[in-house]
Amino acid sequence: METVLRLEDGKNRYLTAVTALSMAFALVVPHEEAIRIRDEVGFFQEVRSGLAKATVEGVKTPEGMDTAIRQLVARCCF
């Protein structure tokens, strides 16, 4: 993920490429060659998933999450 993020517009380019790969793979999956590269495609999909989760904009800090949880608990329990 770090390598992708270091590239110019790496995140967007990677997400677009893996989405296209996944769509193409879904079309050819019964083919013997597709089954042979299943693990490699899965690897790229896992990196895509981690990259999307790790770089979500607007994610709260741990302190912000604690504050939000306290506010929820205060509203429903007191």
> What are 33-74's pLDDT values in tens digits?
989 999 999 999 999 988 887 766 655 667 766 777 777 776
Residue of 19, 8, 12 whose CA lies nearest to 41: 19
Residue 61: the pLDDT is 65
48 or 76, higher pLDDT: 48
Query: Distances in Å between the alpha carbon of 35 and those of 46, 56, 61?
Result: 17, 32, 41
Domain that holds residue 10: 2-77
Contacts of residue 78, defined as CB under 8 A and 6 or more positions apart, other chains included, come to none
What is d(CA 78, CA 76) in angstroms, rounded to the nearest whole number? 6
Band of the pLDDT at 15, cuts 50, 70, 90?
very high
pTM of the model: 0.65
Domain total of the chain: 1
Query: Distances in Å between the alpha carbon of 6 and those of 13, 14, 51, 53?
Result: 12, 12, 12, 17
